[in-house]
Structure 1
Amino acid sequence: MSTPAPPSLEVFYDGGCPACRREMAHYRMQPGAEAIRFTDAAHDVERLAEVGLDAMAAIATLHARNVDGTWHIGVPAFREIWLRLPRYARWARRFAWLIESRALAWAYAVFCRLRLPRRCRDGRCPT
């Protein structure tokens, strides 16, 4: 039996966000998920420090980092996840034009700006 390859991507997501947790849990259950290390940015501050990622930035929007150190932020981070999951990879390639569009990047940025204040009320976010 061969040893599985180490993850080729590390994803930093907001573990304090119920929707974010559900989505990452879904991805974790997919075939191919062993290629991804999922890091809860809301709780693993030591790992954030190791990679030089600001805690607020990490919970504000999805971040992914390839093993070569290349960062993907926002929608490109989702693309990197999808490309490693066989059930999603063909769709990620087929709809690359949409994934790489300014319109989708703008929509995700708006979502993040609306989500963060609700997430951070009552002092529940890093300072």
Structure 2
Amino acid sequence: MAMLTVWYDGGCPLCRREIALMQRLDRDRAILFVDVADPAGASCPIDRADLLARFHARENGVMVSGAAAFAAMWRVIPRLRLLGLAARVPWVLAMMEGAYVTFLKIRPHLQRVARRLDRERVG
């Protein structure tokens, strides 16, 4: 199985939750997760702002973003593999990308809600 690298925004409460779930599901430790928000982290292969704006992964040496990056990650995780494989069908990936673009539009609101929940849990 090829190694997959995923870049994520560790400053985003939604991203942290999702990556924590993916790390638990990645029992084979086949994914290298890189926190772009961590200044001590590995260097960015592309512009840092681009990495923070969309989800990115490197699969077999090829950078992918958006729904294609999620699909690449899912293909490595046994429980999600079929969903990732389904995304290889062009119209399925197009639908997933449309849903991802819609999510990006509402993400700022969801981030505010998640931050509020984090503060309530701590305080």
| TM-score computed with the length of structure 2 as normaliser | 0.73
Candidates 67, 81, 86, aligned match of 2:78? 86
Cα distance change on mapping 1:8 and 1:74 into 2, 3 Å: same
**In 2, are the aligned partners of 1:79 and 1:99 still within 8 Å (CA)?**
no
Query: What is the Cα deviation at residue 55 of structure 1?
Result: 1.1
**In 1, are the aligned partners of 2:73 and 2:84 still within 8 Å (CA)?**
no
| TM-score computed with the length of structure 1 as normaliser | 0.71
Q: Which residue of 1 aligns with 2:7?
A: 12
**In 1, are the aligned partners of 2:9 and 2:37 still within 8 Å (CA)?**
yes
Q: Pairwise mapping of residues 28-43 of structure 1 onto structure 2 (< 5 A)?
A: 28-43=23-38
- Structure 1 window deviating more from structure 2 (72-81 vs 85-94): it is 85-94
* 1:112 aligns to 2:104 (yes or no): yes
Cα distance change on mapping 1:33 and 1:60 into 2, 3 Å: farther
Name the SS of the counterpart of 2:29 in structure 1. Answer: helix
Cα distance change on mapping 1:31 and 1:59 into 2, 3 Å: closer
Cα distance change on mapping 1:105 and 1:27 into 2, 3 Å: same
Cα distance change on mapping 1:18 and 1:27 into 2, 3 Å: same
Unaligned runs of 5+ in 2: 112-123
Query: What is the Cα deviation at residue 32 of structure 1?
Result: 4.0
Q: Which residue of 1 aligns with 2:20?
A: 25
Unaligned runs of 5+ in 1: 120-127
Identical-residue share of aligned pairs (%) = 31
Q: Which residue of 2 aligns with 1:55?
A: 48
